[in-house]
Structure 1
Amino acid sequence: MKKILLIAALMMVSFFSIPVKAQLNVNVNINAQPLWGPIGYDHVDYYYLPDVESYYNVPQKRFIYLSGNQWVFANSLPSKYRNYDLYNGYKVVINSPNPI
């Protein structure tokens, strides 16, 4: 019985003597990807959103889409896509200086 108590006491002492490490990671990235972007990429230049035929420029945080014959750079999608769910829509990652 003494051996069991001694082993239990040693195990508790060794458990409590393990150093506890707290880690704080603050990542301030000006070119941070949006929350609705795909997970697992450490760098993305553009997303192509085929459902709405638009691009999203990650560094500039702007959508790019054709309106007539002109490319439009805007902070949001066109009004006809205001109900489009960016979180669930299909996205293609493009790492190219000029995807268009």
Structure 2
Amino acid sequence: MEHIAAIMLLVGCNSGSLACEELPAPQVAFETMQDCLGALPAALGDAGVSKRIVHGRCAAVDPAWVEEDVEITWHLTRQNRLEVSVQTVSPPAEGLVIAENVHPVHPLAATH
């Protein structure tokens, strides 16, 4: 299995940033944070369309989490900065509702 050290997340919002949604990234997993940061400008440019503001961020991933359940959460700050968090989590209890913008991944896998 490939070593993963960073992930890329793209979010598109309307002009007032009132409605935002995740956008597909051309590559999600990266072996280094530097590789992710290097690919981010092109990904942002390719994702932009009229009347949509695109935010992008690379987030560090602990390579030891490859066999763990992880949760990826994101939000826009008041300064319109995309904040991304990646954490290990216990599997959700049956009947538990997962909040919007929280995306469990099991197990963390590279996607190209």
Q: Above 0.5 in TM-score?
A: no
Q: Which has the larger radius of gyration?
A: 1
TM-score (norm 2): 0.25
| Higher relative contact order, structure no. (Cα contacts within 8 Å, ≥ 6 residues apart) | 2
If each structure's strand is expressed as a fraction of its own residues, which one has the higher value?
Answer: 2
TM-score (norm 1): 0.27
